[in-house]
Structure 1
Amino acid sequence: MTDNSNKSPIKDSRILGIASLALAVVLFLSINVFSETAIKGVQFDLTEKSLYTLSDGTKETLAAVKEPITLRFFSTRQLTETTPGLTAYGERVKELLERYVALSNNVVKLELIDPEPFSPEEDRAVGFGLSGVPISEAGDLGYFGIAATNTTDDKDVIPFLTPQREQFLEYDLTRMINNLANPKKKVIALVSGIPVDSDPLKKYKAWALIDQLRQFFEVRPQGLTPKITDDVDLLMIVHPFGLSDESKYAIDQYVLRGGKAMVFVDPHAEEGARSNQALRLPAVKHANAVGHDFSPFARG
């Protein structure tokens, strides 16, 4: 009869250690195989403020793309390797672009390009209008931007990707995709009694809202003239002080025909009472304190 009580505790612990190590290796391999097959494409956004959690609007924009759009990410290796933080930022940009490709069901294509000095790739970067920055005392230039094209050779670019604008990267990319997927912009006719649009003669600058609208729409200054052309998709009326009876009638008829209009007035402005006349049109209804994000990828 064998006495098991004389087994060495050192030997037992060694066997247990080997078994644990073997189990760990098996688990490691299993997890890697599983992650390659079962959860490929699943991503977690652990960045501060969830910078890479894409909005529903962006997902809808990408899902609606029907014709191929090519995104070309120009990144000069010498530039990213010698600029603090740019390598990591470039990797984040690449991962975000890959997500755009996946969400579009591969209708959006991605090209990664390293434009070295005096190379054909650099010529392409220059041709697209990307901005180069010096990377050597000899004056060689490096590039770190994105150029996008559609099947009809329309193009849009981000000349240089600055880390300071990282929080706006989704906005910039989705704007590009939207513009290339819809090259014919909707027309907004702007009717205003105050200078909301630019006027070089009077040295007025356009309001920031108007500049942003122009990134997605054709904004056509209408002034206070009564004529509204058939190609207008939306009538935007801003503090319409000074509207003539003819203009009011034209607006009313436009809305009655099924046209869309948005009216913005300030009831506390000096001329607010008289500008409210536009709201008395039979076809125009209004609501107080309405705010709206005009971009096609507003977060819900």
Structure 2
Amino acid sequence: MLKKTAVQICVVALLLVVVNWGLSDYYLRFDVTKDKRYTLSDTTKETLENVNSPLYIDVLLQGDFPNQFKKLQYELQQLLEQYENENDNIIFSFTNPLEGEENPDEVVNYLTSLGMLPTNIPVSENGKKSVTQIFPWAVANYGQKTVRVPLLINNLGSDGEENINKSVQQLEYNLTDAITKLTLENKKKIAIFKGNGELKDKYMSDYLLNLKDYYRLGLFNLDSLKDQPNQILKNLQQFDAAIIAKPTEAFTDVEKQIIDQYIMYGGKTLWCIDKVAVDLDSLQNETQSTVAFPRQLNLDDLLFKYGVRINYNLIEDLISTPITVQGPNGNMPLEWLFSPITMSPENHPINKNINVVKLEFANQIDTLENGIKKTVLLESSPQSRVVGAPIEIHLNEFSGNLQPEKFTNGSQIAGVLLEGSFTSVYKNRVKPVELPNNLNESADNKMIIISDGDVINYSYANKKPLTNGIDPWTQQIYGNKDFLINCMNYLLDDTGLINIRGKEIKLAFLNHEKIEEDEISIKLINIGVPIVLLIIFGVLFVFLRKRKYSK
């Protein structure tokens, strides 16, 4: 009997080994989570199909850190395992860049120079508080190309758990976005408008450099062929989208018609427009004052027809960032309500999980009823008001006692997405020139209008470059870059990559306040209840045993 049992155990064990070996090459996981956390999007799967050679992902998020970051690390590892299962060419590893280094400061400086800024995490152990430094980044390498992958969102106004939750939501997007940059071959083309006093290249250099990961860029001057509007339109139509960044000179009627027909034929546009002429530089004089006056760009009827009106006024917001002025002891901050920092309403993949966006001398936008779908992407805080132009502006006008009761105009729109079939501004009107195949209506199209030309100038403050993009007074890296890249990705995205940003994931965190309030009862339940159950079980076991064997 004993021999037979031993044989059966050996047979079962052998079968288990064979089955385990046979299934070792197969990856099977059932996603029963409500938010489908462990289900890759179709866009990600299609992107991974384009990886034809080894793609290495080195994750720097390794080490001894709080549980919140361990959750982020765990979710990232789970996601990378799914990527690896979809394509064997995905190879990943976790490493601590500071472990075993004799000169960790040199490593920190090197990584920082590459744009991978560290995060300082407060740690409390045995009653002692300290700070540990981690690098929440990954580096993806594919052939000769390298892309940095941010893993941590650190938005202003969100606590640690909220930021970790948002970071987990964005992991799939960030990884798939990086792989897209590495494998993208056929890039769409974007025209950067010049010729009407637009923003200088150096002030939008960071944005343009980041766009080059996705698209081909080219400068485009509307008056390059003054007597050949047909050829200008034909040349412009070779571009899939156009960026019009802070023009300061009025567009001619012919130029406006060319833009209008470009839109009618499906061209996407990102407008960054200042309707009031004023600049911080103009305050650098003896009186420390200037006059802000309306800027005539000859675009009012065009934008009105598409469904918006940018007003000739300025937004003042109590939720704003200071500006830098020269004081007796060096640079000092000065309160400046013309620099609102807008919290994202997170009502669209474009503004999902991004940090506050900084504006400078932004104008109020009105949306008009015309059948076009309008989504507000940027708006000031409820503690805002608008002031009309022309208006005299003083450098120190906000340094006195502010009166919050005067800032009751509510949130003001500063950025809006328009989607639908646009009507030409020249429909039933005399046209400046005769263009072939002139269209009065467009097919479904998209455009984004932002009432601040300097929204692209996010890497400069007072015309001086920011170190690592960090505002010296708020210690924030504003979300302008992410927002603007998302804008263009949404306008030109045919693959659905931007929609991954809308994925909702909710992580369960411990309620530390409740734990502190109920600390004694929690300890009693977790320690006392098991002991009581063991005692009851022991007494019952002894009682039953005595009754059984006492007979």
Bucket of the pairwise TM-score, normalised by the shorter protein: 0.5 to 0.7
How big is each residue's C-alpha offset from its partner over 1:186-222, in whole Å with a ceiling of 9 and x where there is no partner?
A: 4222569999xx9479x99x9x9x9996662245463
Q: Shift of residue 103 of structure 1?
A: 1.8
Q: Shift of residue 52 of structure 1?
A: 3.2
Give 1:131's aligned residue: 117
Q: Shift of residue 169 of structure 1?
A: 1.4
1:262 partnered with 2:267:
yes
Structure 1 residues not aligned, in runs of 5+: 1-18, 255-259
Shifted more, 55-64 versus 221-230: the winner is 221-230
Corresponding letter in the other structure for 2:135 = Y
Give 2:78's aligned residue: 95
Q: For 1:34-73, what aligned pairs fall within 5 Å after superposition?
A: 37=23, 40-73=26-59
Aligned match for 1:143, one of 135, 138, 143: 135
Distance 2:39 2:209 in 1: 26
Q: 1:30 to 1:170 in 2, by over 3 A?
A: same
TM-score (norm 1): 0.60
1:217 partnered with 2:215:
yes
Aligned match for 2:240, one of 217, 225, 235: 235
Corresponding letter in the other structure for 1:286 = S
Distance 1:283 1:62 in 2: 42
Aligned match for 1:287, one of 429, 443, 466: 443
Give 1:111's aligned residue: 93
Give 2:171's aligned residue: 169
Q: Shift of residue 119 of structure 1?
A: 2.1
Q: Shift of residue 179 of structure 1?
A: 0.7
Give the paired residue count.
259
Say if 2:191 and 2:241, in contact at 8 Å, map to a contact too: yes
Q: Shift of residue 176 of structure 1?
A: 0.5
Distance 1:184 1:288 in 2: 23
Task: Name the SS of the counterpart of 1:146 in structure 2.
Answer: strand
Distance 1:88 1:242 in 2: 53
Corresponding letter in the other structure for 1:267 = Y
Task: Name the SS of the counterpart of 2:437 in structure 1.
Answer: coil
Q: Shift of residue 275 of structure 1?
A: 6.3
Task: Name the SS of the counterpart of 1:115 in structure 2.
Answer: coil
Q: Shift of residue 59 of structure 1?
A: 0.9
1:155 partnered with 2:157:
no
How big is each residue's C-alpha offset from its partner over 1:30-77, in whole Å with a ceiling of 9 and x where there is no partner?
A: 599469717831222334422332221111111012343211011232
Q: 1:134 to 1:221 in 2, by over 3 A?
A: same
RMSD: 5.3
Q: 1:33 to 1:140 in 2, by over 3 A?
A: same
Q: 1:117 to 1:59 in 2, by over 3 A?
A: same
Task: Name the SS of the counterpart of 2:306 in structure 1.
Answer: coil
Q: 1 or 2, which has the higher helix percentage?
A: 1
Distance 1:233 1:52 in 2: 40
Corresponding letter in the other structure for 1:262 = G
How big is each residue's C-alpha offset from its partner over 1:258-292, in whole Å with a ceiling of 9 and x where there is no partner?
A: xx9525675334697536679x8627672246696
TM-score (norm 2): 0.36
Corresponding letter in the other structure for 1:287 = A
Shifted more, 163-172 versus 288-297: the winner is 288-297
Corresponding letter in the other structure for 2:437 = P
Task: Name the SS of the counterpart of 1:176 in structure 2.
Answer: helix
Task: Name the SS of the counterpart of 1:77 in structure 2.
Answer: coil
How big is each residue's C-alpha offset from its partner over 1:124-155, in whole Å with a ceiling of 9 and x where there is no partner?
A: 77445433234677866333321112211x32
Distance 1:84 1:274 in 2: 57
Q: 1:190 to 1:115 in 2, by over 3 A?
A: closer
Shifted more, 57-66 versus 214-223: the winner is 214-223
Say if 1:76 and 1:116, in contact at 8 Å, map to a contact too: no
Task: Name the SS of the counterpart of 2:267 in structure 1.
Answer: strand
Distance 2:33 2:209 in 1: 30
Higher relative contact order (CA 8 A, sep 6+): 1
Corresponding letter in the other structure for 2:146 = K
Distance 2:235 2:195 in 1: 22
Give 1:178's aligned residue: 180
Say if 2:58 and 2:140, in contact at 8 Å, map to a contact too: yes
Q: 1:157 to 1:289 in 2, by over 3 A?
A: closer
Aligned match for 2:62, one of 76, 79, 82: 76
Say if 2:119 and 2:134, in contact at 8 Å, map to a contact too: yes
Say if 1:186 and 1:233, in contact at 8 Å, map to a contact too: no
Corresponding letter in the other structure for 2:75 = R
Distance 2:130 2:72 in 1: 26
Q: 1:69 to 1:32 in 2, by over 3 A?
A: same
Corresponding letter in the other structure for 1:112 = F
Give 1:5's aligned residue: none
Corresponding letter in the other structure for 1:282 = N
Distance 1:120 1:147 in 2: 23
